[in-house]
Every structure is written in structure tokens, then in C-alpha cells.
Amino acid sequence: QKEVEQDPGPLSVPEGAIVSLNCTYSNSAFQYFMWYRQYSRKGPELLMYTYSSGNKEDGRFTAQVDKSSKYISLFIRDSQPSDSATYLCAMTPSGSARQLTFGSGTQLTVLP
Amino acid sequence: DADVTQTPRNRITKTGKRIMLECSQTKGHDRMYWYRQDPGLGLRLIYYSFDVKDINKGEISDGYSVSRQAQAKFSLSLESAIPNQTALYFCATSDSRDSPTNEQFFGPGTRLTVL
């Protein structure tokens, strides 16, 4: 069983839709939870991060962490065609080493 | 100019050949990483280096080796390439002084095909 599971999609939605992307994990040591966005033919780039449980909002994006359920989500409001990309969750325990464990990524297409 | 560069961007080679992928960064970061990305498997860590004298194996180091020639350069070698090493390879960097997420900055990737 993988430490981090992510539905690979692909997910296709109309412009303006609310998008929900999710990951589950098994390692209770994970403390920092991140979402990376990867456009086609590009490397991933950090979109948002959250520490421990709770919500974090940044514009149209909201990241949620439920440590009791080992479940994290990324919500995109008013989705735009420019949001079309692969979204990867990533997690790490606290501490100086802190290697990232990535999910497999969800491919999202927002149709105009 | 890109902060993390990778060469070559694309490479087709044959089974048994030795291949080197190179990564350079101008971000001044001390930490560097090599990942491979496969459909359905996401990013998997091959090797990482926290400074010039520090090299560590990642999740899938078998069949690979690395060299950290300078703080800004980190190369990945496949001594004898095999077809299941066909993948997209990414180099990444991070700054040990950055907290709390150890944010990693990725290069544009190298698409390697082993025939």
C-alpha cells in the first residue's frame, strides 16, 4: 500500500465549477501538507501548504487537512481554463530532513 | 533565465548504454534532488544531496548513481540503461534555511526513452 493515495483522474469540469481534489495517507507522522501544480511539459511548483489540521485559503484555492481521517483536500472555486494542470499532493513529517512524499497526481481539465 | 536547468531535455538511448543527466541551479540552494515521474506512480525520489559532501539514497536508487560536482551542479547517471528506466526525470532544489515546508523548486524535466 502506498503511503499517499491520490485519485489520478482525469477530471474534466466546465469553467466556473468548484473542483475538489483529494488525497489520503497512512503515515501519522506527516505534519506538513502541500499541493503542487504541474503544467504540461513543466516541473511541479508549490501552490499551497498547510501545517497540521485545519483550512487555509488563498484566493480561489482552499486547502483542508483532517488528520483524524488522514485526508486532505484542495478546493478550487470559480475554476478557470488556466487551472488545467496536474495537481500533486505532498507530505512530510516535521524535522530537519523532511523528505517529501508525493501522491500520484490528479489531471484536471477546465473546459471553457 | 530559469533558476533550475536540466540537460538534455529529451534523450533516446539503447539498452546497455551509459547516460548522464545534468542539473544546474542559480538559486544558491544547498539541497538538490533527483526524481523520476511515471504515469500513475507520481514523483519518486532517486537520490538527494544536502551539500557537496552529502549524498543519500532515495526510494528507488538501484540502477542509478549521482555526483554533486559543486553546490550548483548535481548529475544523475544510469550506468547501463534498461527499458524500465524510461521516464520523466526531474531535478529539484531547496534551501535548508527555508521553513517550514522545505519547498522544492523543480527543473523542466528530462524525458528519457530507453529502447
pLDDT digits (tens, 9 = 90+) for B34-92: 999 998 888 999 999 999 999 999 989 999 999 999 999 999 999 999 999 999 999 99
Q: What are the start-end ranges of the E strands in chain A?
A: 4-6, 11-14, 19-25, 30-38, 45-51, 54-58, 61-66, 71-76, 85-93, 101-102, 106-111
pLDDT at B18 over 90: yes
A contact test, residue of B33, B37, B43, B59 with most A CBs within 10 A: B43
Distance (Å) from the C-alpha of residue B79 to the closest C-alpha of chain A? 25
The DSSP result for B68-93, as a single string, is EEETTEEEEEESS--GGG-EEEEEEE
All residues of chain A having their beta carbon less than 8 Å from the beta carbon of residue B90 are: 43-44
Instruction: Tell me which residue in B45, B100, B104 faces A32 most closely, judged by beta carbons.
Output: B100
pLDDT at A1 over 90: no
pLDDT at A66 over 80: yes
pLDDT of residue B43: 92
Answer for the pair B107, B23: CB distance below 8 angstroms, yes or no.
yes
Half-sphere exposure for B108 (CA within 13 Å, toward CB): 10
